[in-house]
A = this chain, B = another copy of it.
Amino acid sequence: MTQTSSPLNPLLRKLEAFAPLSEAERAVLEGLSGPIEVVPAHADLIREGDKPKGILLVLEGMAFRYKTRASGARQIVAYLVPGDMGDLDVALLDQMDHNIASFSACKVVWIKPETLASIQQNYPTIARALRMSTLVDEATLREWLVNVGCRSAIERIAHLFCELLVRLQVVGLATDNSYTLPLTQLDLADTTGMSNVHVNRSLQELRRQGLIELKGGRLTILNLPRLRAVAEFKANYLHLGDQAAA
């Protein structure tokens, strides 16, 4: 209630989902805000082969990690929503092995490795929360692999929607089982490893079953229990405790 308008709010909310923070700790995190970069929609933030620019923190908007093949095929390997951070140790790498781009217009910060390192040293609770968050990112990647590796078309999309709901709820960006989803069907296709045509048909099926409504860049989940059942969604990999009924 105090600082809902701070650009750092999503990060604070996310970390507090792992461990309560003191006022001092919250204040320190506010110090991360630095120079905010405003990024238009559909723009690359950093490309494969580039030297890491620092630790990416998304404040607003939605971004994603992806890799491309020589053929031009694209695989999206992660979504970055407000409060999400890149790897704490990216600075160790001399070049990126994948790309990061924006879905919608974004506000981001590139945190200097030293800044983060010093915070981690001096504030163990924050350090813990940040490391938890990294573990969850990895767990999410594993879940995405399960998604593409052994779920059907409809199940994949349903699972993705369930995951996003939880992640956006944590940072206060989803209410009434509804949230902004600035993706095209082609984006969804490249995320779930299917063709845009089949994404279209799967979405229609989800609509026909009365599970979701998706139009104008906003997704509304009409029947969450059934959507979760379809996706066989268990939130345990997000490690939020009981907040998101596993």
Q: Which residues of A contact B (CB under 8 A)?
A: 48, 65, 67, 69-70, 73-75, 77-78, 87, 89-90, 92-93, 95, 97-98, 128, 131-132, 134-135, 137-139, 141-146, 148-151, 190, 192-193, 232, 236-237, 239
Contacts and interface: CB of A to CB of B under 8 A. Distances in A.
A138 B237 CA distance: 16
Given A141-B145, A193-B148, A239 B75 contact: no
Contacts of A150: 69, 73-75, 193
A78 B145 CA distance: 10
Contacts of A87: 135, 138
A70 B131 CA distance: 30
Contact of A75 (B70, B134, B145, B193): B145
A151 B149 CA distance: 12
Nearest to A65: B142
Contacts of A138: 87, 137-138, 141
Interface centre among A93, A139, A151 (most CB of B within 10 A): A139
Contacts of A139: 97-98
Contacts of A98: 139, 142, 237
